[in-house]
Amino acid sequence: MIDDFLLRALLAGIGLAIATGPLGCFVVWRRMAYFGDATAHAAVLGVAFALILGLPLTFGTLLIALAMGLAVSALSARGHAMDTTLGVLAHSALAIGLVAISFVQGVRIDVSSLLFGDILAVGSSDLTVIYTGASLVLALLVWRWQSLLTSTLNPELAVAAGISPKREQLLLTLALALTVAIAIKVVGALLISAMLLLPSASARSLSRTPEAMALWAVLIGVLAVFGGLMGSYWFDTPTGPSIVSAAALIFTVSLPLRKLAQ
């Protein structure tokens, strides 16, 4: 019989995969990998912000991650180089967040759990937060799916159809920030972008349509969570990195399938 903590961890991973699967597809299609990484790094600053002001960690993380996304979008729109802007903001937010946490009195925070996650410590209240956030992300993507897809594949056609690419980008930023907020406890700030990218990149080899790719990304994410949890349990390895390692293994196996499909 599966232990309760493993069952909660598996349920948390499934909830995360529900959000990261379809959202990760847009990250891949729009080449937003570094954008997602910067938003995830900002989550650590969000934790510090929440601790200092006495706010719920999820709320503080969501607020700062969203602010990071909006700041990057605003600076890139003003002509700043995207890769440089992302690099400066991402590493600055991570460093400032870690320094700020060290000054918080009366609170003990395991920095490694912020960076790499602590999925085995997930409780019932955490599951509620994860599934509420994942449901909101999924509902947002389903609601705006066609508009998001059109603005991703052909921005000019989107404008002609009355769709604002900037608005769709803002919605993606919101969805990404919400996903980061619910994912930081599961896989940590440094591994969130991997869970956005690896299942979606693997799903490319198995899909003929965008919808199929999103579905495959969810299934692969769930498989990676299950494989990583079992590997961590059997070999006594860190759970968050084990999940990402399982996702990386699936991606490696999927590469020959992509060559056959071409």
Contacts of 121 by beta carbon, 8 Å cutoff, 6+ apart: 5, 113, 185
Domain-located, residue 200: no
> What gap in Å lies between CA 122 and CA 166, rounded to an integer?
36
Domain-located, residue 224: no
Domain-located, residue 165: yes
> What gap in Å lies between CA 25 and CA 197, rounded to an integer?
8
Distance from CA of residue 238 to its chain's centroid?
Answer: 19
Where b means 16+ CB within 10 Å and e means fewer, 104-125 reads eeeeebeeeebbbbbbbebeee
pTM over 0.85: yes
Domain-located, residue 143: yes
CA angle 68, 251, 258 (to 5 degrees): 115
Domain-located, residue 141: yes
Give yes or no for a contact between 136 and 178, defined as CB atoms under 8 angstroms apart.
yes
Domain-located, residue 65: yes
- The tens place of each residue's pLDDT in the chain, 262 residues long, gives 567 888 999 999 999 999 999 999 999 998 888 888 888 888 899 999 998 888 888 889 999 988 887 887 777 667 666 778 788 888 898 899 989 988 887 777 777 888 888 899 899 999 999 999 999 999 999 999 999 999 998 989 899 989 999 889 889 989 999 999 888 888 888 889 899 999 999 999 888 899 999 999 999 999 999 999 999 999 999 999 999 999 999 999 998 876 555 5
> What gap in Å lies between CA 175 and CA 86, rounded to an integer?
18
What count of residues does the chain have? 262
CATH number at residue 137: 1.10.3470.10
Map residue 30 onto helix, strand or coil: coil
Domain residues for 18? 4-190
Instruction: Give the chain's domain count.
Output: 1
